[in-house]
Structure 1
Amino acid sequence: MPKLWNETIETHRDAVRGAVLDAAARILAGQGASAVTMSGIAQAAGIGRATLYKYFPDVESIMLAWHERQIQAHLNQLVGIRKQTAGAREQLEAVLHAYAFLSRSGHNEADSARLHQGAHAGRAQQHLTDFIAEIIGEGSNAGVFRADVAPDVLAAFCLHALGAAAGLASHEAVTRLVGVTLDALQTPGYPASAGRAPVSPGR
């Protein structure tokens, strides 16, 4: 089969797959996970059920694929935020602030817990930990963050601490939580957080 033909088929498949995941996301956002059905997704995506079943065997596989795409988008967003910020402490503050708000924008706890059981979630969590540990390591070398604890341990601490952001009601409370978390990482004598509020995702 000609290469161009193969590329055309693959592009079409990607487009259909993207339309299916977009449709699932719209239903999920508007009506919740219980309303996500194969029939509803097919209708929202503008394809037949038979076509849908060629791509996904059931709703669960669609939800997992959607969740994986969401996680990757969030990781890309955090990488982009880091690139736009100078200085290890400033980078970590901006990244953790964005992460905290992304954590608050999830769906109900039962759906979130079920989706996070997938292998993709574990891989993404490791990538996120490594990413934050890299920033902390650079800050430790610069004397900004403490060097008596390994960067990966401090990264895990940050993610665990910011898990509390999901239960906070206000922007200010999340910003304070990020500040407290950062202050726990810095070397003695380094100026404490002044309560700056980095721009959260979508603001």
Structure 2
Amino acid sequence: MPKLWSETIAGHRSAVMDAILDATAELVHRNGVTGLTMTALAEKSGVGRATLYRYVPDVAAALAAWQQREISRHLQRLHAISSQSSDEVRLKNVLIAYARIRSHRHSDDGSLHGAGQLAMAESEVRELLRDIIADDVRGGRARADLSPEELAAYAVGSLSAAGSIATPSAAPRLAALVLGSIQSGSDAESF
């Protein structure tokens, strides 16, 4: 198959999948997870039902694919924030962004953001935070009595609480609390 033809087909498939995932997002935001149907998804995405079933066999597959795309976008956003921030505010900016991501809801019962589904993403966030914290330790902006790995795990675990608090202003407040903990001195008593 000529390269141009295969690129055209790949581009078409990507566009169809994007339309399906965009429609999934819109329907979930409008009707909640339980209101998503294959009929509504086909109609909203503008693809026929037969085509829809070739891309996603059921509502659960559409939700999983949409969630994976959203997680990828969130991770890209966190990395972009990290790379675009100065050293002095990089940790703060990433913590606030992560807390806001964790606080976002899709009118679901928690099934979209279960621990198993987020484990790989959380691992990547921990690695990103570990690297930022290690830089901050070297720059004297973070405590050195705990390892960057421990502090990153603490940050991810603590900011997961943002998902259970309905107040929109809670995310930056929790991020500030975590930031203060990471930046505080090492005068805490050892265990």
Please give the TM-score of this superposition, normalised by the length of structure 1. 0.84
- Alpha-carbon offset, residue 187 of structure 1: 4.7
Q: Note if 1:161 corresponds to 2:158.
A: yes
Q: What are the superposed Cα offsets for residues 91-146 of structure 1, whole Å, 9 maximum, x if unpaired?
A: 11111111111211122452x33553555x32211111101111001111112112
Which residue of 1 is the match for residue 51 of structure 2?
51
What is residue 186 of structure 1 aligned with on the other side? 183
Closer/same/farther in 2, CA of residues 24 and 122 from structure 1, 3 Å limit: same
Following superposition, the deviation at residue 174 of structure 1 comes to 3.3
Amino acid at match of 1:103: R
Query: What is the identity, as a one-letter code, of the residue corresponding to 1:98?
Result: A
Match of 1:139 among 132, 136, 141: 136
In 2, distance between residues paired with 1:63 and 1:168? 23
What residue is the counterpart of 2:101 in the other structure? 102
CA contact (8 A) 1:64 1:118 kept: no
Give the aligned residue type for 1:144.
R
In structure 1, the residue matched to 2:111 is 113
Q: Is the 8 A contact 2:103 2:171 kept in 1?
A: no
Count of residue pairs the alignment pairs up = 185
CA distance in 2, matches of 1:12, 1:51: 12
Q: Judge conservation of contact 1:63–1:115 (CA < 8 Å) in 2.
A: no
In structure 1, the residue matched to 2:5 is 5
Segments of structure 1 that go 5 or more residues without pairing to the other structure are 190-203
User: Which residue of structure 1 aligns with residue 40 of structure 2?
Assistant: 40
Residues 6-85 of structure 1: matches in 2 within 5 Å? 6-85=6-85
- What are the Cα deviations for residues 138-195 of structure 1, in whole angstroms up to 9, with x where unaligned? 1111121122222121111011111222305142x43332222112112528xxxxxx
Q: Which AA in structure 2 matches 1:96?
A: L
Is the CA contact 2:103–2:168 (under 8 Å) kept in the aligned structure 1?
no
Correspondence for 1:128: 125
What is the root-mean-square deviation in Å for CA atoms of aligned residues?
1.8
Q: 1:25 to 1:114 in 2, by over 3 A?
A: closer
| TM-score, normalised by the number of residues in structure 2 | 0.89
- Flag the 1:83–1:114 CA change in 2: closer, same or farther, 3 A: closer
Identity of aligned residues (%): 37
- Residue 59 of structure 1, CA deviation: 0.8
Amino acid at match of 2:100: F
Segments of structure 2 that go 5 or more residues without pairing to the other structure are: 187-191
* Local SS of the residue matching 1:102: helix
SS at match of 1:130: helix
- How many Å separate the matches in 1 of 2:33 and 2:111? 13
